[in-house]
Amino acid sequence: MTVGAWICLLSPLAGALLITLAGTRISRRTAGYLSTGSVAVAFGGAITSFIGLLGKNGEERDHVSTAWTWLSGGSYRSGFEILVDPLSVMMMLIVSGVGFLIVAYSIGYMDGDKEERRYFAYMALFVFSMLLLVQGGNFLLLLAGWGMVGLSSYLLIGFWHERPSAIAGAKKAFVMNAIGDATMALAFFLIILYTGTLSFDHVFNIVQNGDSGISNSTPINLIALGLLGGAVAKSAQLPLQTWLPDAMEGPTPVSALIHAATMVTAGVYLIVRTHVIFEAAPKVEELAAGLGAGTLLLAGLIALVQTDIKRVIAYSTMSQIGYMFLGVGLGAYANGMFHLMTHAFFKALLFMAAGLVIHALHGEQDIRRMGGLRTLMPRTYLAFLVGGLALVGIFPFSGFFSKDSILAAAMDHGWYGYVLWVAGLAGAFLTGIYTARLFFLVFWGEPSAFVQEHFHKPKRDVVGISLAAPVAALAVLAAIAGWIQFAPLWHPIETWLQTVAEPLVSPAGWQEAVSSVLAVVLGAAGIGVAWLLYGARTRRVPRLAFAQRTLEHKFWFDELYDALFYRPSIRIARGLGRFVENPLIFGSGRELGQETRALGGLLGRAQTGLLRTYALAIASSVAVLALVFVVVR
Amino acid sequence: MLGPSVAWYLSVSAFLFGVGALGVLLRRNPLIVLLSLEIMLNGANLALIAFSRHQGQGDGQIFALAVMAVAASEVVVGLGLIVAMNRKRITLDVDRLNTLRG
């Protein structure tokens, strides 16, 4: 069982190394197969661990396997160890499973790119980093995985490095993530300071069973805040959300894998993993839920006006992760993780279906130039329909089951919960509008002039199959995966995760019913509004200049950060350059040089070139020295 | 100990050294300068040998032999240089050889 987990962790790394070392000795296609194969092996390893855990009782499903002692200093010790428990196995299954489908899809999508091998090596490296993140058996390895995920995301966003916008997006993502990494590292220093260890078990034990003063104290609040900082950075939540839309400059499968299915959900995983700390700091936990609610509204609003097909989906990702934060912030851990899983399916599906559209239109991403693709790409149309309905949360698609139970959980958390609940319902309405808008604009109506000119059908070769098969598989998953857990009747995921994270809230049956009905009705209403505006086009899109400008500028977050951080630091740097660097550092260096030269010139005059003066100098100095010796004696 | 006292020897040595030094300082012909250098060295050698005899030890004499060897090789190089200069028709005047002036 732990062997399976080790194989799961190391196989993608081996794949990445192999592709790197083999270089041009293997064909581009082979690199793709290698990468896909290594992730498939990882998925196999995850399944073996899963089956191994299934055979145990609830209390025994917690294994730490240490390979070697990694760091030790004084009484502090950290091993290179992995943790196999229900939560990590669930994440392993999602990461490697969805990752496998997406890497397989990449074989077709990246076909013909001249740096395919690099792409597949990065892809395998990313899967390894993500698995390290979720399997790491202590905070240190978690942080290592966290940083490596940021690195591979940077590499993949900037994969098309000849595009300046891709490089800018990659840098932005990296810097934003680095802020989160820093706050997390600070939190870990505090943990070492107060508990002396970074092992999950010990820290949680001390927080849970230590003296009662630890709960709600300043250190624990600071630790939780630091962890939350890491989580919001990685998951693109308020206030560090601005990098995600720009990350869409990467190839579409990258957007599907990193910025929808796996990496951005790391924040949710972190909160569930360290829920003991967050429960000891309830204020911070509520802050996490509030940030989630804020993000889901903000992102839903911005998604209404975006014109890039991938950016719309990116904003919907932010919005859905907002739901997950809302859920786990209120203590509905299983519901949050369940939504994480279904979201991985339907969002990867949406991205990959969008990738098919982009592929068929020669890289065009502007939805205003699309339209009428329903008749041209009927199967993609169906897949997108399934994904869209799952995203809006329409019964019986997967989003219905997972999103509504989060909303129901919010009702069980006092007045604050009700505020968040209302936000979540408003978010459901927005989800309906922007999803249906995208859908109608891309697929309905008559084929636009651009589409008629540029459309080309994918062929039924390796490329076509590699593109179509993962989409089909995800469409099936997005349609039916929700039935795994139907909150009022059966809840295997909650039972599965019970030993790791006991939920804090248990919504009553009527709350489930009310939330479900309202969410579905609002989602459907959103679809209806979008139908009137974009499908049937019986109403004109209302023009509110100011609102539109605000949304198109994404609530001016970029401009705000520019004015708050970027410009002042540029100004400080200029000032320092002008008043410190130039006069002090450069100036002193320059003058040191000049003075030394002048001194040298002075000394140079003593060198006359006349042999006899030298001889006289030597003779007279020796005479003086001799006199001195005689006198001193 | 027979013969004059060590002071006599030292006086002669100092006189030789002084003559040599004056020659080096005052004369401009490199040949003469080289000659004066040899006189200085021999003055020093005389002092070494005088002290050696005075002390009754052989160290100074050995040292004098070493100085002679060095002086011989020095003369070989120096005379070679002077002959080469003469062949190239360079004026044999040390004050003219001032290209290394700083």
- For A229-284, how does the pLDDT look when each residue is reduced to its tens digit (9 = 90+)? 998 888 888 888 888 888 888 888 888 888 777 888 888 899 888 888 888 888 88
Cα distance between residue A542 and residue A545, in whole Å = 9
Residue B101 phi, psi (nearest 5): -65, 135
Cα distance between residue A370 and residue A358, in whole Å = 10
Rounded to an integer, the average pLDDT of A15-22 is 89
DSSP, collapsed to helix, strand or coil, labels residue A295 as helix
In chain B, the percentage of residues whose pLDDT exceeds 70 is 97
More confident call, A565 vs A500: A565
Lowest mean pLDDT among A14-28, A474-488, A511-525: A474-488
Q: What is the average pLDDT value for chain A, to the nearest integer?
A: 84
* Residue A483's pLDDT band (cuts 50, 70, 90): confident
* Residue A212's pLDDT band (cuts 50, 70, 90): low
Q: Please state the three-class secondary structure of A482-527 as a single string.
A: HHHCECCCECHHHHHHCCCCCCCCCCCHHHHHHHHHHHHHHHHHHH
Task: List helix spans (H) across chain B.
Answer: 6-26, 30-55, 59-87
Nearest to A226 by CA among A280, A287, A180: A180
Lowest mean pLDDT among A43-47, A208-212, A246-250: A208-212
Instruction: Look at A609 and B102 and tell me if their CB atoms are within 8 Å.
Output: yes
Nearest to A127 by CA among A163, A152, A155, A164: A152
pLDDT of residue A488: 66
More confident call, A586 vs A509: A586
Nearest to A41 by CA among A137, A153, A128, A150: A128
Q: Are A15 and A30 in contact (CB under 8 A)?
A: no
CA distance, residue B82 to nearest chain A CA (Å): 15
Search chain B and give the residue with CA nearest A615.
B25
Instruction: Look at A609 and B97 and tell me if their CB atoms are within 8 Å.
Output: yes
- Hey, is the C-beta of B25 within 8 angstroms of any chain A C-beta? yes
List of chain A residues whose C-beta atoms are within 8 Å of the C-beta of residue B101: 607-610
CA distance, residue A175 to nearest chain B CA (Å): 57
Instruction: Look at A611 and B94 and tell me if their CB atoms are within 8 Å.
Output: yes
* DSSP code, position A413: S
**A97-153, pLDDT tens digit by residue?**
888 988 888 888 888 778 888 888 898 999 999 999 988 888 888 888 898 998 988
pLDDT of residue A512: 79
Instruction: Look at B99 and A609 and tell me if their CB atoms are within 8 Å.
Output: yes
pLDDT of residue B68: 94
- Hey, is the C-beta of B94 within 8 angstroms of any chain A C-beta? yes
* Residue B15's pLDDT band (cuts 50, 70, 90): very high
pLDDT over 60 at B1, yes or no: no
List of chain B residues whose C-beta atoms are within 8 Å of the C-beta of residue A608: 98, 101-102
Cα distance between residue A426 and residue A423, in whole Å = 5
**CA-atom Rg of chain B in angstroms:** 17
Nearest to A562 by CA among A163, A161, A172: A172
CA distance, residue A602 to nearest chain B CA (Å): 10
CA distance, residue A625 to nearest chain B CA (Å): 16
Cα distance between residue A304 and residue A200, in whole Å = 42
Rounded to an integer, the average pLDDT of A36-61 is 85
**A539-583, pLDDT tens digit by residue?**
777 777 777 777 777 777 878 888 888 889 999 999 998 888 888
**CA-atom Rg of chain A in angstroms:** 30
* Residue A593's pLDDT band (cuts 50, 70, 90): very high
- CB burial readout A481-514, b (16+ within 10 A) else e: bbebbebeeebebbebbbbbbebbbebeeebbeb
Tokens found for residue A613? 């003066």
pLDDT of residue A475: 86
Instruction: Look at A616 and B102 and tell me if their CB atoms are within 8 Å.
Output: no
pLDDT of residue B76: 93
pLDDT over 90 at A628, yes or no: yes
CA distance, residue B3 to nearest chain A CA (Å): 28
pLDDT over 90 at B71, yes or no: yes
DSSP, collapsed to helix, strand or coil, labels residue B101 as coil
- In total, the C-beta contacts within 8 angstroms joining chain A to chain B are 35
CA distance, residue B34 to nearest chain A CA (Å): 12
pLDDT of residue B72: 93
Most B-contacting residue of A597, A608, A611 (CB-CB within 10 A), to test interface:
A611
pLDDT over 70 at B2, yes or no: no
Instruction: Look at A609 and B98 and tell me if their CB atoms are within 8 Å.
Output: yes
pLDDT of residue B102: 64
List of chain A residues whose C-beta atoms are within 8 Å of the C-beta of residue B33: 611
Nearest to B24 by CA among B6, B40, B8: B40
Tokens found for residue A46? 């995850």
Facing residue for B94 by CB, picked from A607, A612, A619: A612
Place of tokens 């519901």: A335
Instruction: Look at B98 and A616 and tell me if their CB atoms are within 8 Å.
Output: no
Facing residue for B21 by CB, picked from A603, A606, A619: A619
**Model pTM score:** 0.77
Search chain A and give the residue with CA nearest B28.
A612
Cα distance between residue A590 and residue A583, in whole Å = 10
